[in-house]
Amino acid sequence: MITNSYSDTNRPLHDRLDVKFALKAARLGVWELDPITRLISWDERCRELFGLASDNQLPYEQAIQYIHPDDVERVDQAVRQALSPQSGGDYDVVYRTVGADDGLLRWVRFTGQSYFNEAGEVIRFAGVARDVTDHKKAEEALKLSEARFRSLIDEAPIATSLYVGPQFVIELANDAKIAYWGKGRSVIGKPLAVALPELKGQPFLKILENVFTTGQTYETKADSVDLVVNGTPGTYYFDFTYKPLRDASGAIFGIMNMAVDVTGQVLARKALEDSEKLYRSLSAALDEQVQQRTQQLQASVQDLQRSNDNLQQFAYVASHDLQEPLRKIQSFSDMLKNQYREQLGTSGNDFLNRMQTSASRMSILIKDLLTYSRISTQQDSRSSVILSRVIEQVLNDLDLTVQETNALIQVDSLPTIQGDKSQLGQLFQNLLNNAIKFRQPDQPPHIAITCQTVAYADVPPSVRPARPAAAYHRINVTDNGIGFNEKYADRIFQVFQRLHGKSQYAGTGIGLAICEKVVANHGGAITATSQPGKGATFSVYLPT
């Protein structure tokens, strides 16, 4: 039994109570898997981690049904390895459980040890478990915060870089700053003195040390620096700032460097020194221009920060404050149905069903709005994306829907583009899902995905890509569905715009608006052509 795995029955009672109290105080659960019967025995805490209202003993094959589908194979593999003598018996795995009775998603960490006899046979496999949901949420929040910080630097309108630690290791640098240095992105991860050896003998490393030590921001204008840019030595002039950054404890961990190249202005002033009047006039104009530009850049940084804060607030409200009441509505209505079904009668049960349906629609709507908001504020990652693999993943996600509707989907060879893989997946999943949803009632869906390259001059005048390019990939998604009147072609890409009632087709009216935002983020455009009863074609234009 479990108690025997973690206490010695021959020990004094107060010792055994101390062990149980320690486990309970640490909110640790204890468990044991019988290697012969494959029955899992566990205490109340472990049962809570799996969201079970009862059953302190159940078969292993049943228990893994309550693990998140994406984690089952990894957990099962860890168990098999722990039961193998070659592994040493160690077991340590973090995964998600989906509450069997309460439906809650939890992150848990199960650790344990297998014990073997001299023949190498498992005689015991047991351990402890704990809830690590808060830790995982904090970890995800930290990753999101770091990603936003990196995005802020990458998208900053001026040259920006981040140096970490007393060695000033180059942690981040946007394209503008990389261009100033003229040494490519290989400088990332190197100490500043190693990446830019020409700084030796110049004052900047000493200034950085002083900022790191004192915590005082350093600012200067039109300061000269000798750099070797693309192999050529030269003197350049910058307005720049060294701003110390502090961690949660208040300790300085790095310095942000923001710089504006004013070499042109400085050289211009030097060239006009012979004419004092003209020089003063030009100097005043240049100073005013620099001030205006600095104010504009500071305003842009503030706008980016406000946008980031607004997104954080919206994400919290949408995923917590709004979703939690809906979950309670659904939970309590389930309890009413289960406990008072007969007393409520037909009419009362009908009201409950309608209430649950409305709550479910509201939950889906909130999730869609959150997706739309994130796509509206995020830029694409500019990595290489193989569209054929994106479509393959989308079809894998829609596999059940495709089988249920007997849909036939044909996919041509698709290109590799620069973009955001996740956003492009949402784009094609929404288009394919719509093509299946709005099918003819008397025939299975037939969908074709084709692609061709179109020169800029051949793009129809009504199509206005977000970014000009010499040519575009035009990807057509064509179906044999119910179609629509083309006079609504622009309307369907607006938020909450629907051509059919909720009773006919489920949805929130946000899917195509998300498609339009994704395509715009990638510098392209999306159009639709159709006739009622004759299917529809959605054309996605993406820069080559």
Q: Which of 131, 158, 193 is the last residue of a domain?
A: 131
Looking at every residue in the chain, the average pLDDT score rounds to 82
Co-location of 98 and 148 in the same domain: no
Going from the C-alpha of 335 to that of each of 103, 117, 340, 342, 357, the distances in angstroms are 14, 50, 8, 13, 15
Q: Which of 102, 131, 160 is the last residue of a domain?
A: 131
Domain total of the chain: 3
Co-location of 510 and 396 in the same domain: yes
The DSSP secondary-structure symbol of 325 reads H
Co-location of 530 and 442 in the same domain: yes
With left for phi above 0 and alpha for psi between -120 and 50, is residue 536 left, alpha or beta? beta
Q: Does position 217 have pLDDT exceeding 50, yes or no?
A: yes
Out of 111-125, 196-210, 290-304, 403-417, pick the least confident: 290-304
The three state secondary structure string of 468-481 is CCCEEEEEEEECCC
Are 370 and 408 contacting, i.e. CB atoms less than 8 angstroms apart?
no
Please state the pTM of the whole predicted model: 0.38
Q: Residue 101 falls within a domain, yes or no?
A: yes
Co-location of 423 and 453 in the same domain: yes
List Cβ neighbours of 339 (8 Å cut-off, separation of 6 or more): none
- pLDDT of res. 103: 78
452-464: burial string, b at 16+ Cβ within 10 Å, e else? eebeeeebeeeee
Q: Does position 230 have pLDDT exceeding 50, yes or no?
A: yes
Give the model confidence (pLDDT) of 106-147 as tens digits: 999 999 999 999 888 899 999 999 999 888 887 787 677 666
Co-location of 57 and 19 in the same domain: yes
Co-location of 114 and 184 in the same domain: no
Co-location of 232 and 147 in the same domain: yes
Co-location of 416 and 527 in the same domain: yes
- pLDDT of res. 17: 46
Q: Which of 255, 272, 289 is the last residue of a domain?
A: 272
pLDDT (average), residues 243-260: 90
- pLDDT of res. 356: 66
The percent of residues in the chain predicted with pLDDT above 70, rounded, is 79
Co-location of 157 and 126 in the same domain: no
Give the model confidence (pLDDT) of 305-337 as tens digits: 666 566 556 555 655 566 667 666 777 777 877
Say how many C-beta atoms besides its own lie within 10 A of residue 337's C-beta. Answer: 15
52 φ, ψ to 5°?
Answer: -95, 135
- pLDDT of res. 364: 59
The domain containing residue 221 runs over which residues?
139-272
Out of 21-25, 233-237, 339-343, pick the least confident: 21-25
Co-location of 185 and 245 in the same domain: yes
8-32: burial string, b at 16+ Cβ within 10 Å, e else? eeeeeeeebeeeeeebeeeebbbbb
* Residue that wins the pLDDT comparison between 33 and 52: 33
Q: Residue 74 falls within a domain, yes or no?
A: yes
CATH number for the domain spanning 9: value is 3.30.450.20
Co-location of 399 and 523 in the same domain: yes
Co-location of 183 and 77 in the same domain: no
Q: Residue 8: which pLDDT band, with cuts at 50, 70 and 90?
A: very low
Out of 19-23, 50-54, 529-533, pick the least confident: 19-23
Give the model confidence (pLDDT) of 290-313 as tens digits: 888 878 877 766 776 666 566 556
